[in-house]
Amino acid sequence: MADFTFEVVTQDRTVVLTDVEYVLLPGVDGSFGIMAGHLPIMAALEIGALEFGPLHGKRRKIALGGGFTEMHDNKLTVMAHTAELAEEIDVLRAKQAKSRAEQRLADRQADLDITRAQIALQKALLRLEVADED
Amino acid sequence: MAQSSRDIKRRISSISKTQQITKAMEMIAASKLRGAQETVVSTRPYYERLTSSLGTALRAVEQAGEELPEMIQGRGGDSHCLLVLAGDRGLAGGYNSSIIRRAEAFMKEHPETEMVIVGRKVRDHFRRRNRTSLAEFVGIGDEANLRVAQDIGQVIFDFFEHGLFDNVTILYTEFINTVTHRVRLRNVLPLPEQIKEVKNAGPEPLYIYEPSITAVLETLVPLYVNAAVYQALTEAKASELGARMNAMRNASDNAVELIRELNITYNRARQAQITKEIAEIVGGADALQS
C-alpha cells in the first residue's frame, strides 16, 4: 500500500514525523481511519487514542489530548493540545493523576469544577490504557 | 579630604562585590536567553500552520453563507479582558514598569476591563492599588511553560464563553533582539480579521469538514487562543531575560566606572597624606636645626 506523510505536533515539539500506511484518529463522532490519497479533510479530534502504522499489523499509539487534524497533498497533520507516544507516558504520574481526579470527584466539594475533574480522569485513564498495551 | 581613606577602601570593596553579583546575573540571564530565543523561533511554524487552517475554514464558512460562531464574530460589546504578561522578579531595567504603564493606559481607554495577570511584579503593583484581577499566575519561572500557557488559555476561554467579557487582548513584550523589545497589544478574541486572509500558496483544495465546519472551528479557536498565549509568553520571557541581561550589564559597567573614580580619589587621598607627613617631618627637622 502507498504511504503518506504523517505528523503530530504540539506547540512545543514535533511528536512524530513519519511515513505511514494508515492512521486511526479519535474523531468527535467516533474513530475514523485515513489512508493515502484521502480527499482534503479537516476534522475535530477528541481526547482519545491515536494509532498509526500498517493497515494490518502492529501499530504505534499516541495518547491525544484533543485537537485538530488536516489532510491535504497526501500529508496528514495533527495539531494537538497534548500528545504523548505510548513509550513516553509516565505511568506513575498518570496513576497519581487518576487517583487524584477520582478523589476529587468522590469528595464533591462545593467549589469543584466537575467537568475539569472528569476531563482529568479521562486523560489519565487514556494514558494508562495507551501505555499498557505498548 | 572629606572621606578618610579607610572609608573609600570600604566603598570600593562593597562596590566590587556588587559588581560580581551583577556580572553573575548578567551571565545567567544571557545563558537562559539563548534557550528562550530558540523557543520563540520554534513556536512559529505551529502558529502559522494553525492560522492558515483557521483562515481556510473561515473562508469556507463565508462561502457557504453560514453564521460564524460567537467566539469568532464577536458579541460587539465593549468589555475587555487584558492578559498582562510580565516578570516575577525585578532587576530587569524598565521591563515591568513599561508593561504596567501600558496596562494602565489601556484601562483608561477601556474602563470596562478585567485583568488576568501573569507575573508577581504586576500583581503586586495592582494589589497595592486595590485593583482586582480575574486570575493571577505567579512564580512560573524563567522558561515559557506550555502547560502554564494552556492553563491560562483555558481560563480565559472559559471566562469568554461564560460572557464575562467580549474582547480578549494580550499585553506583552515582543522580542526583537537581545537589546530591543517592544510593548505590544494583541487582539485574540474575537478573531482578528486578518486571519481570514492567511493562505497557503497555490490553489485551495475543497475540504471535507468532519463532523461539521462549526465543530472544526470550535476546536480550532481554543487551539488558536492557547497558541497565541504560548507564543506571547515565549516572547515575554525572552524579552524579560534580554532586559535583565542589559540592566545587569549596565550595572556592571557602572560599577567599573565607580571603582575607577574611587580609586583615583583614594590614591589622591593617600598622596595627600604622604605629602602632609613629609611636610611635617621636614618642618620638624627644620625646627630642630634652627
Q: pTM for the full model?
A: 0.81
pLDDT score at B260: 92
Contacts of B209 in chain A (CB under 8 A): 41-43
Nearest residue, CB atoms, A42 vs list B39, B42, B209: B209
Range of the domain at B147: 43-246
User: Is residue B100 in a domain?
Assistant: yes
CATH code for position B150: 3.40.1380.10
Quote the crossing angle between the two packed helices B146-161 and B213-289, to the nearest 10°.
Answer: 130
Judged by DSSP in three states, A65 sits in strand
**CA distance linking residue A63 with residue A45, whole number of Å:** 12
User: Is residue B218 in a domain?
Assistant: yes
Which CATH number applies to A4-86? 2.60.15.10
**CA distance linking residue B152 with residue B159, whole number of Å:** 11
Question: Hey, are the CB atoms on A11 and B205 less than 8 Å from each other?
Answer: no
* Spatial contact of B68 and B58, defined as CB atoms under 8 Å apart: yes
The total number of structural domains that make up chain B: 1
CB pairs under 8 A between A and B: 77
List Cα–Cα distances, A83 to A61, A86, B41, B85, B280, in angstroms: 10, 10, 21, 26, 85
Beta strand pairing call for A60-72 and A75-80: antiparallel
Nearest residue, CB atoms, A11 vs list B46, B56, B57: B46
Choose the CATH number for A90-132 among 1.20.58.340, 1.20.5.440, 1.10.1040.10, 3.20.20.140. Answer: 1.20.5.440
Q: Which of A8, A73, A3 is nearest to A41 (CA)?
A: A73
pLDDT score at B141: 75
Q: Which of B165, B156, B289 is nearest to B233 (CA)?
A: B156
pLDDT score at B243: 85
Question: Hey, are the CB atoms on B220 and A68 less than 8 Å from each other?
Answer: yes
User: Is residue B15 in a domain?
Assistant: no
Task: Choose, out of A15, A42, A114, A123, the residue to mutate when testing the contact with B (most B CBs < 10 Å).
Answer: A42
Torsion angle of alpha carbons B100, B105, B106, B111, nearest 10°?
A: 120
Which residue is associated with the grid cell 494553525? B50
Locate the domains of chain A by residue range: 4-86, 90-132
Measured in Å, how far apart are chain B's first and last C-alpha atoms?
32
pLDDT for A42-57, tens place per residue? 888 888 888 888 888 8
User: Is residue B253 in a domain?
Assistant: no
- H or E element in which residue A69 lies: strand A60-72
Q: What letter does residue B119 receive in the DSSP assignment?
A: S
Return averaged pLDDT per consecutive 10 residues of chain B, 290 residues in all: 74 89 88 85 82 81 74 75 80 80 81 82 82 79 78 83 82 82 80 69 72 81 86 86 87 91 89 90 86
For A82, the grid coordinates are 497534548
| Residues on A contacting B at a C-beta cutoff of 8 Å | 9-12, 27-29, 32, 39-45, 66-68, 70, 72-73, 77, 79, 81-82
Q: Examine the pLDDT at A116 and tell me if it is beyond 70.
A: yes
